[in-house]
Structure 1
């Protein structure tokens, strides 16, 4: 390692620290690899961690056995590469952020003569597109409520129809399709709708009136729908009605810590008013965080939030801390959005008051987190598996098939002690046996880590063989991620699943764990496994029914079971059969049957 340190290039790039087992400890970026990496060490009387390091980083440097560097063309390139590697590989000593969501925006294309509000998470083409948001919560409730109160064009197809529809009859649309409202009058409706977006108190007041009206008319179902919308809009994290004199668009980022965790707070100011906010907790903070690590949190938060597809970005971004790599961040964001983006660390005036507001809310969120009763199950799982942090986000995998047909895989996600059903995924698999099916599914998931980062833990429905498979796939990809296998206990070669007494076995890196059926830790793993199994089975049934329908239709068309089996043996799946041309089908069937099949799939949907 001393030779590596002596030969470091004086160029920008990314450095990676590994322990003696080649496990990744840390990823960092540098303007000069030579100066930055050497700063972690002292060289006399022998190579050792530098004394000025924080206790956590000192401990990390003590474990370094191997160093790798990647030279980049610029510090901006190094910054992007650092972010990508941390996101994908989960280094042990980097602070990991768990917020890869894209937030929805409301938008309206004012180039249209009779425009309407819609939702988007991506940039919409057009010179006169106006965005509102982002809205971490309640965007659909806002949109539905505006269409409840303001008679805008309800459907995209309405204008093209040129005939008034049901919405006009129930007074929810002014029928511009029949010329019953002018563009000038319609623009007043647009102004009214936009007013509700900016003034949610007025929106809530009107919704409450409408709810009471429906209740008086005994239209309880409609009243209940509005009640639910009111609750959703109230949950939007409007931290303050604070505004500033200038009609500015600002995004404000603040980071704060207490003894055990941190929080990132984002405030979004549009036209001088704060319209929404969001926050992300950083768990497992065991020691004081240094300035360098705080800067790294800002870097990752900003780069992850502002992707090239983010619909709207304020030209000015305020941060509660000074950033040494501000110029590089500005350059990256400006290039992404094709406009000059400025990062500021205000020290006085109105903008400093906004920073103070963000820090005030961060402090309150940390206080609420401390006072909220916490379940100890994740802490107990952390202790059971000797993990470095609590597994707040877990992915669970299972597959399902029937005699090798309709083979599917399933991934379910457990996040912050609840199911994250929006992140569930199904996989259609081609492999014929359980081992290669799991390999195919996990490989595809690993390939997607650059888009959707790894969780804190993988749970596999299967024994030690499948656990080792998963571990090796992760190791080959360079990803630090613990894996647990859950297998049914077998008695007389049969799986024992008697309710209330199932002694499932947990397989971990440290060996087998046999817990009592009443142990809540085992029940936690069983609950995860059972949800993955349910999800896999439900998808398998759908696929099987689809294939059974296809088989029965084929038989009606003269292709019997034996021929169907020959086709599946040759092509593997019905999708491949459907794609096959006449010449390829003739390798399996007669020319007559091949033609029948071509005609069948031409008409079959």
Structure 2
């Protein structure tokens, strides 16, 4: 039976905010705070999750109500979304369904704002509505996060497309044009000043715009804005800029609130000997929340086999069976997928499909689930309890006299010898100590000579320590085989610090995670550790973090040397596409905030390229 990450313990313990915040993402999303009994206390949304959640744990300046809330927190769960708008809609869904005690006085229960295109056969109206109904037919666009943005955008749409906004009774009883016609916001269909064919063409264009299929009006406004700026008419340019921003908000299509559909979206992530499975529950097209699981597994199991075992236990295990939706979305093919789908269909008394190759809304749900699985796994690996348990196992494995309080790991990164960079990452009893991470630019060595690069970085690091300028580690790891380890031992002997344990971490013959070989520099012994060992999981975590940090540093140095901007360093984004991105969003900060779907609305930006841009801007 899979074990859920317990949102709270019955015991009264202080929430370890420091460890939690270390690995918390800076992306937009929703956070849920739980008490010791596992009951939700508060639901909030954030443009930057790390900054927002960190603000609750300031040492001073909190309101009394916030202090009372923080004193009861035992755990926090987060759900990452594609944009701040999606976070807002998911937050409102969760508040309405969970009704947390600390939200009720702070949030109203209004329905979302929509834009409604009436069902009139010849001259439909375009109006603002709050809440969606099935009466009267017509077409609904939304929901949208801001009623102000919708109303302002309707004004702009009326200026551009001149579609009526009056009620049906008002429209039927007009004998002469109203004020909207006089101010050029309506074509006066009530008195026949426009033919049904001409009016329907305006409706068609407005509909395409609201569906995000025709951004031409935005490009027209961008041209007008640039023209006004060139003429030094800055107030007019600012007005155009505001119009563009409003129209972009209207175009946003929300992946957390769609036209309908029930699905469970399953994602899997694994690292450092731990597997995290995230289930996103979607009912009626709305994301209702997420659940996290950390099942035990064997390294021989593929992701398809893991998901097969998980799904069987998730839906059929325990005393009560969970609701089985029509669609179960998975990132990889599940072992025995057809047989499992048949069993689920029989249990649900209707067809249930297990699907991986999906498009549109369901693809966005699956991508959202994968992002959440990766973030949840990072948070779990960084938790204080996890790190402490692994430290004890590492002490016993290496037969150390005491639990290591400071561990350092080194790695080398370059591209065909270009811009070589060495990394030094540090772990202590709380996990990654990022304030002590260091990058070293390697100079004066032959291109591609990793041995010479390792000698240089170790000499530079520990020569300062011997001189009393650096902290002394209790344990040092080298990402590499016997060659790199021998270089490290020579440096240590030369500096007279051979009493520090030195361990090499080499990939095994199969180069698979869990098959690493450890090499003791003191004895030369080469040994393997069981794949399920907490000690090996800690070593893998340190080694992977060192590798990631080295690659990040190398890329930054390479791009700086090539004098590339943030966008210039992205493959496929040339001068024309950079210009279109800047024109559409107004600057690099707005591009960072945009979701993949919003980027695809820019001329020349495909879905695949938008995903590459998003990943590059968020260091994925």
Q: Structure 1 length normalisation: TM-score?
A: 0.31
Relative contact order (C-alpha < 8 Å, sep 6+): which is higher?
2
Q: Structure 2 length normalisation: TM-score?
A: 0.31
